[in-house]
DNA sequence: TTGTACGCGTTATCAA
DNA sequence: TTGATAACGCGTACAA
């Protein structure tokens, strides 16, 4: 059997409570006994039992991570491993563990989270998605469960600590970049408007378009599901217009890949005939043909800061509601170029 | 404060132990009192405290998932979200939670796992990688920690329950497919030989080549890091040979994407000039140009079965060591085609 | 069929 | 500076 605190106590000839204090590095224990106890711990290969500690403490040192519905295609986005890597780093630094939760349906996810919370398996949650009218966030707020959201909350934004990019600004900037390149007909291909991120990027795009005195055209704005069919369908629509765009603003690298393929199939050359920009800067965006001009949103940092603030919220309440903005950076690669008049 | 088992007991006018039995659905409790107790639980919104239960039980109903080093580029492979989706499904079905563990370095991972185990945070582990001379697997075996590996163990294969594909067979089959298409010069582009999966696939490839009476050429076998540079470097080498290959066997879809891009840049047409096949059938393999012929290894199932067997091992020891083979399937798409003589 | 009493391994309170 | 003791919430012999 594994050594317990009592075994260590006996071996070091002290009381269990003393051992406990040594573990916590309580300053009121003499260095001498600390030494003795530590030796005993070594000899017995003692490791504190987290479960027992949690029970006594009422703290699990664990944060729950809630993924979107696994049925969702977006689940396969390399965004997730990367954000989890960030969370993991932040959690690890403070000796926290990570408890994952997924489900096929929204109900399944909700049920899982309730179990986690009521069962006291976690001290707090990081939500990796934000949805309109989310029953989950409502539940969490009502029950005063500490949580942090990655991305922008749809409702009650003033009451939810979240870690996000300034997607409005990023979208505006990258659109301005295209405009500066001489493009006047810039289309927007985005995911569902139920995602806050889509809304923000659309608004930034619109702002830049209007600022430049260009026409904001409804037929240049297309929303599709993530991935494959999405991007391809969008391209179909856009290039059957009388005045097809000369540049495409795509809200996600993965969609952009679909777009690139479709363009290739239609013999539309990138960037000669049309420029393409997108978001995320996942690894694949470097190896696409051509490599994608994309906004690096610093996914790792998104996760890292989420973890850090989650732990802050757990350890020193009342931590005020915060909005943490992670900087972005436009990475220019070959998928975008100056618009050449001779194409007209 | 949250309701405890005692509160429920009082409200239902029974002893706490009775409530406990109702939760466990002990048949020796009369339906009548069960009903009464359940009502009380409803009214108080009672949820059992997992931590307390774990302490009493010495079972956490949680399985730990060990990811490879997050510094590793392979970490970004969509393989991981998908396998985790499978694990999650399997775990959820049996009411198990998932505890994740990562780290930048091998030592960090090891330390994290030891904490998980000694701290009794998990009942068992699923390892998502297998390495030569892994200190972790040695530790786990010595301490009789129940664990299941996804992939093929390098050492002590007879003593480690693992869930894997028959990569040897799959590689052989897909090579035979190329041979049947008329290809005689087939090159192999794979990851590190320290990964069991690379070794298996290489052997299957070699076997098929030799069976067909073809030449197994060393200069047709290239090992590179996953991703980008890897695939591209390999193509460079192969096509500067005097007799370049007419078909490429790539061990991973992501690498294959890099290969496709490099080929495109070199103006080598796929599949007219060269056929490409790879492994995994991740979502992206459908939207590549051209779509990839690839071996679907059923990643989800890999995770699902790993979870199922992990739980079996936890719940009914001694569970014998097992080797679970998940079936694969060749998915033929446009990246491969018959070899046409006129190309000679 | 149900209740009593103890143990799980730790922390925290109060004495000493 | 340390020790004894009571929680923490639940499961389970054993008793009734």
Catalogue all structural domains in chain A, each as residue range(s) with its CATH number.
62-165+299-328 (3.40.50.2300), 167-296+330-343 (3.40.50.2300)
Inter-chain residue contact A92 with B70, CB threshold 8 Å: no
Q: Is the pLDDT of residue B253 over 70?
A: yes
- The set of residues with CB closer than 7 Å to nucleic strand D is A 13-18, 21, 28-30, 32-33, 52, 55-56, 58; B 1-2, 4-6, 16-17, 20-21, 23-24, 48-49, 52-53, 55-57
pLDDT in tens, B232-245: 778 888 999 999 99
**Rounded to whole angstroms, how far apart are CA atoms B218 and B239?**
14
Quickly list DSSP for A15-75: -HHHHHHHHTT-TTS-HHHHHHHHHHHHHHT----HHHHHHHHT---EEEEEPPPTTSGGG
pLDDT band for position A343 (cuts 50, 70, 90): very low
**What pLDDT is attached to residue B278?**
97
Closest nt by CA–C1' to A54: C10
Q: Which bases in strand D are touched by protein, i.e. have an atom under 7 Å from a CB?
A: 1-5, 7-13
pLDDT top residue among B259 and B344: B259
Q: Do A100 and B99 touch (CB under 8 A)?
A: yes
**Contacts with B287 from chain A: Cβ below 8 Å:** 227-228, 231-232, 257-258, 261
Give the C-alpha separation, B134 to A170, whole Å. 44
Helix, strand, or coil (residue A160): coil
* Whether the predicted pLDDT of B227 surpasses 70: no
Contact criterion met (CB below 8 Å) for B287 and A257: yes
A61, closest residue in chain B (CA to CA): B121
Length B15 CA → D3 C1' (Å):
34
Per DSSP, chain B holds a count of helices (H) and strands (E) of 13, 12
Mean of pLDDT over chain B:
90
Over residues B28-45, mean pLDDT: 88
> What was the pLDDT predicted at A344?
44
CB atoms within 10 A of CB B187: 24
Choose between B149 and B108: higher pLDDT: B149
Looking at chain B, the whole-number percentage of residues with pLDDT higher than 70 is 97
- Residues B302, B166: Cα–Cα separation, whole Å: 12
Q: Does residue B297 carry a pLDDT above 70? A: yes
Higher pLDDT, A132 or B204: B204
Q: Is the pLDDT of residue B344 over 60?
A: no
| pLDDT value, residue A227 | 63
**Nearest nucleotide by C1' from B120 CA?**
C9
> Among A3-17, B198-212, B312-326, which range has the highest average pLDDT?
B198-212
Predicted TM-score (pTM) above 0.75: yes
Which residues in chain B are contacts of A289 at CB distance < 8 A?
Answer: 260-261, 264-265, 289
What is the rounded (10 degree) CA torsion for A289, A291, A293, A297?
A: 120
pLDDT tens for residues A250-279?
Answer: 999 988 988 998 898 899 998 999 999 999
Tokens, residue A28: 């009121």
Q: Model confidence at A318, in pLDDT bands (50, 70, 90)? A: confident
Determine the pLDDT at residue B343. 46
In whole angstroms, give the CA distance from residue A203 to residue B50. 45
Write the pLDDT tens digit of every residue in A49-100: 999 999 998 999 999 999 988 777 777 788 988 999 999 999 998 989 999 9
The arithmetic mean of pLDDT across residues A205-227, rounded, is: 90
Give the pairing of strands B62-66 and B124-127.
parallel
Among A44-58, A224-238, B315-329, name the most confident range: A44-58
CA of B47, C1' of C8: distance in angstroms = 20
* pLDDT above 80 (res A130): no
Cβ count near B39 (within 10 Å): 13
**B296 closest CA partner among B285, B282, B281:** B281
Portion of chain B with pLDDT greater than 90, in percent? 59
Q: How many CB atoms lie within 10 A of CB A147?
A: 25
In the numeric block, which tokens belong to residue B173? 């089959």
User: Taking 70 as the threshold, does the pLDDT of residue A1 lie above it?
Assistant: no
Mean pLDDT of chain A: 90
Higher pLDDT, A55 or A321: A55
pLDDT at A26 over 70: yes
CB-nearest to A99 from B92, B97, B232 is B97
- pLDDT average, residue stretch B312-325: 87
Kindly report, residue by residue over B111-147, the tens digit of the pLDDT.
889 889 988 999 999 999 877 677 899 899 988 899 9
Position A325 scores a pLDDT of 97
The pLDDT, as a whole number, for residue B27 is: 85
The torsion angles phi and psi of A37, rounded to 5 degrees, stand at -65, -40
In which band, very low, low, confident or very high, does the pLDDT at A295 lie, cut at 50, 70 and 90? very high
Q: Residue A151 and residue A129: Cα distance in Å, rounded?
A: 7
Would you say the C-alpha torsion B195, B196, B200, B203 has a positive or negative sign?
positive
B310 pLDDT exceeds 70?
A: yes
Assess whether pLDDT exceeds 90 at residue B249. Answer: yes
A302 or B103, higher pLDDT: A302
Nearest Cα to Cα of residue B52 among B28, B21, B20, B29 = B20
pLDDT for A141 beyond 80 = yes
Distance B5 CA to D8 C1' (A): 12
Task: Say if strands B97-101 and A97-101 run parallel, antiparallel, or are unpaired.
Answer: antiparallel
- Run of H or E residues at B334: none
Give the residue-averaged pLDDT of A240-245. Answer: 92
Could you tell me the pLDDT band of residue A29, with boundaries at 50, 70 and 90?
Answer: confident
Residue A158, pLDDT above cutoff 50: yes
Residue showing tokens 């590190």: B192
Question: What is the count of residue pairs from A and B with beta carbons less than 8 Å apart?
Answer: 159
- What does DSSP assign to residue A240? T
């Amino acid at each position: 059997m594994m050594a317990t605190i009592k075994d260590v106590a006996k071996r070091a000839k002290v009381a269990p409570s003393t051992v406990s204090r040594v573990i916590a590095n309580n300053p009121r224990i003499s260095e001498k006994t600390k030494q003795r106890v530590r030796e005993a711990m070594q000899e017995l290969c003692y490791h504190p039992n987290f479960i027992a500690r949690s029970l006594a403490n009422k703290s699990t040192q664990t944060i729950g991570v809630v993924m979107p519905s696994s049925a969702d295609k977006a689940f396969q986005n390399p965004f997730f491993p990367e954000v989890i890597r960030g969370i993991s780093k932040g959690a690890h630094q403070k000796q926290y563990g990570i408890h994952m939760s997924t489900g096929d349906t929204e109900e399944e996810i909700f049920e899982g989270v309730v179990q986690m919370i009521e069962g006291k398996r976690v001290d707090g949650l990081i939500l990796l998605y934000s949805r309109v009218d989310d029953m989950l966030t409502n539940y969490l707020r009502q029950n005063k469960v500490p949580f942090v959201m990655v991305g922008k909350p749809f409702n009650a934004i003033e009451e939810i600590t979240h870690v996000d990019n300034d997607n409005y600004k990023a979208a505006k900037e990258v659109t301005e970049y295209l405009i500066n390149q001489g493009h006047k007909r810039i289309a927007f291909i985005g995911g569902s408007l139920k995602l806050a991120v889509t809304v923000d990027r659309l608004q930034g795009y619109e702002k830049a378009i209007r600022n430049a005195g260009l026409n904001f055209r409804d037929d240049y704005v297309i929303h599709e599901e993530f991935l494959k069919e999405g991007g391809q369908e969008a391209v179909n629509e856009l290039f059957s217009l009388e005045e097809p765009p000369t540049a495409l603003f795509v809200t996600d690298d993965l969609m952009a890949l679909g777009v690139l393929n479709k363009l290739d199939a239609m013999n539309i050359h990138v960037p000669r005939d049309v420029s393409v920009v997108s978001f995320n800067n996942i690894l694949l965006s470097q190896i696409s043909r051509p490599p994608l001009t994309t906004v690096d949103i610093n996914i790792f940092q998104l996760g890292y800061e989420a973890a850090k603030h989650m732990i802050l919220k757990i350890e020193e309440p009342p931590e005020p509601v915060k909005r943490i903005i992670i900087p972005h950076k436009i990475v220019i690669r070959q998928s975008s170029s100056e618009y050449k008049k001779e194409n007209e």
